[in-house]
Amino acid sequence: MKHCSPTCKWLASFVTTTLLTLSAWVLWDNWGRFIHSVDAVTMSATSDSTDTITRGKYLAHIGGCVACHTAKGGDNLAGGRRIDTPFGAVFSSNLTSSKTNGLGDWTENDFASALSWGRSRSGRLLLPVFPYNHTSVFTPDDVHALFSWLQTVPAVEQAQPTHQLTWPLGTQPVIAVWRSLFFSPSPFKANPNESDAWNRGAYLVQSAGHCATCHGQRNALGSFPAVDDVSGGFLSPQLWLAPSLTDATQTTLSTGTLNDTAHLLRTGQTQHAHASGPMAEFVQYSGQYLTSTDALAIATYLKSNLKANSRTSTPSNGTLATSSPAAQALYKNHCASCHGDNGEGKPHIYPALASNPAVTLTQPDNLIQMALYGGYGPSTAGQPRPYGMPPYLFTLNNQQIADVLNHIRSQWGNQAPAVSPMQVDRARAAHY
């Protein structure tokens, strides 16, 4: 600063002022409202009737609270489940009525503040792995129901494990800046021009369903997608694609009936489509608990969001898949006995590969996952004993898997970009 010219001095004070202003804004944005009570939440007048508690339990199941806050083989809602993100592993918190480790000491206002503002009772900002953009959509009545039920969950004394995030990720200043950039509460706004079913579907998709968490687009900083963004996303450490629910060519939403979609959400399959990967997990832990009315409402809302086919007009980059005699032989030996000589599948048992949107997605990640690891659909009330697919991880090499996938992506009217052995190798190495 010794030889600083007037311009340089001006510049220095400008930068300092800007930084201070931004810091003040971030501070106010994240903690300012905390000085005053959270006025967005009005205490519900409803008493803790059995109905309220039952509704809370229902919401906690379809919303995945139980799924994420219960470790594998662990006590219900005692937390500790590991969740892998592109930024490291985090562990869910204890939601039981334990006073030391859970929510036993919380007031309903504390809980409402966590759901609508993403802030813990102590004022600590919560990691956005907890999708509080979606929980901020909940009506005060539903927040009350959730809290009422959680208070009935038997206490389990289990502390939350330490997250495995690289410093400074996960620190309060970083979360604060991130939140100022990507989070603002979005209470539900009903559309009076639409039906009750549509509005119920919209509410569920944007709140408990938190569909955008996977089906929405995030930027490189892992931003929260808009709560109604279901234009497609990618789960990066797991390497699964969440197809766009607005593009008619990517799912069976456009070709299936509302009942088909509702059935898929509740049982994990329809006559032709099968849920797999993270979607199967959703059905297993959440979707199967949906009432048929709510599942139909979700289907109604999602179907109304479909946009006219946009993909055929966009030229795909990369060459189209083609078959070869070797690929055809692989298909005959390994796939045809279940999926049929012409990719027709077996209704309700093995999915068809002909005219199946999951087969012709531009990004072949899900198809590669299935070919490598196979696996079963979820056991649900509607399909308690699903059939499964053998893994080909040890049977076929990368080239062979790419060949056989290119075969099914180029036959029976299917047309999709070619799969390369490198893409197969990437999924093999990820080992999730």
Partner 1 sequence: MKHLISLSLTCLLWLGHSPAQASDMAERIKPCEACHGDQGRAGPDGYYPRLAGKPAGYLFNQMQNFSQGRRHYTMMRRMMDPLSAEYQRDMANYFANLQVPYLSPTTRSVSLNNTQMARGKQLALQGDAALQIPACNSCHGENLMGNTAHVPSLLGLPSAYLGAQLSAWSLGDRTTLAPDCMGDIAKRLTAADAAAVTGWLAAQNVPTQGGAKHPTRLATQTRCGSAPELHGALQ
- Residues near partner 1 (CB under 8 A) are 71-73, 280-281, 284, 338, 349, 373-379, 384-395, 431-432
Q: Identify which of residues 73 and 192 has a Cβ nearer to partner 1 in the complex.
A: 73
Q: Which residue has the tokens 């299936």?
A: 256
Q: How far apart are CA 350 and CA 337, in angstroms?
A: 10
* Residue closer to partner 1, measured from CB, 248 or 370: 370
What's the min distance (Å) between Cβ of 394 and partner 1? 7
Q: Name residue, tokens 């006073």.
A: 99
**What single letter denotes the amino acid at residue 406?**
N
Question: Whole-number minimum distance, CB 384 to partner 1, in Å?
Answer: 6
State in angstroms the smallest separation of the CB of 379 from partner 1. Answer: 4
How open is the CA angle 112-117-121, to the nearest 5 degrees?
60
Q: What is the DSSP letter of 47?
A: -
Please state the closest distance from residue 378 (CB atom) to partner 1, in A.
4
* Helices and strands (H, E) in the chain, number of each type: 18, 7
Cβ proximity to partner 1, 169 vs 393, nearer residue = 393
Residues 6+ apart with CB under 8 A from 149: 52, 53, 54, 55, 56, 57, 59, 60
CB of 344 to partner 1, least distance (A): 17
Q: Count Cβ neighbours within 10 Å for each residue of 158-195 and write b for 16 or more, e otherwise.
A: bebbebebeeebbeeeebbbbbbebbebbebeeeeeee
- Of 119, 124, 153, 122, which is closest to residue 40 (Cα–Cα)? 119
Nearer of residues 67 and 306 to partner 1, judged by Cβ:
67
What is the spatial distance between Cα 233 and Cα 225, in angstroms, rounded to a whole number?
10
Q: 94 near 105, Cβ under 8 Å? A: no
Smallest gap from residue 428 Cβ to partner 1 (A): 11
The packing angle between helices 258-267 and 277-285, to 10°, is 80
Cis omega before residue 168 (within 30°)? yes
Residue nearer to partner 1 on the CB measure, 3 or 72? 72
CA dist., res. 221 & res. 387, Å (int): 39
Cβ closest to partner 1, residue 48 vs residue 281: 281
* Contact call for residues 156 and 197 (beta carbons, < 8 A): no
Q: Closest distance between partner 1 and the C-beta of residue 211, in Å?
A: 20
DSSP state, residue 406 = H
Instruction: Tell me how far, at minimum, the Cβ of 264 lies from partner 1, in Å.
Output: 15
Nearer to partner 1 by Cβ, of 111 and 392: the residue is 392
Task: Name the residue nearer to partner 1 (CB basis): 222 or 374.
Answer: 374
